[in-house]
Amino acid sequence: MNCLRKQSTGDVSVEVNACPGPDLRQILEDLRCQYETLIARNRKEVEDWYECKIEEVNREVITSGQEVETCNNQVTELRRQLQALEIDLQAQLSQRNNLESSLAETECQYNTLLGELQNQITCVEQQLAEIRAEIECQNQEYKTLLDVK
């Protein structure tokens, strides 16, 4: 047993005579340099694109802000005009109401005056009718007197 143990626990040494393989460390270093260059170039392109987009957005914000300010000014001016027109409308309505009231009073006065004139005309017509009747009567009497003469 001891002999077998000595045989199985022995040291084995293997030497390989092969040509040296490619230097993986150098290849990895070259790949890393290529990727870092590519990353740096992509980062620069993205930063440039980002700066361009930010500049465009800032210009749009400024333009939009100016448009909003212009629109606000127009709205304010239109509100002023609306208020002025409403005041003018109220003044015109008040003037119209005053004129309608004055017209109604004038019509009432003229209707009263017309009624009085109608009454006077009726009285004068009655007096005229009475005078005619008297004249007719006197004319009849005069004719009778003339006939008697």
> What tens digit of pLDDT does each residue of 92-127 get?
999 999 999 999 999 999 999 999 999 999 999 999
Q: Is 58 helix (H, G, I), strand (E, B) or coil?
A: helix
When pLDDT is cut at 50, 70 and 90, the band that residue 13 belongs to is: low
Half-sphere exposure of 43 (CA within 13 A, CB side): 6
Q: And the tokens for 85?
A: 């027109």
When pLDDT is cut at 50, 70 and 90, the band that residue 31 belongs to is: very high
Cα(74)–Cα(86) distance, rounded to whole angstroms? 18
DSSP E strand boundaries for the chain: none
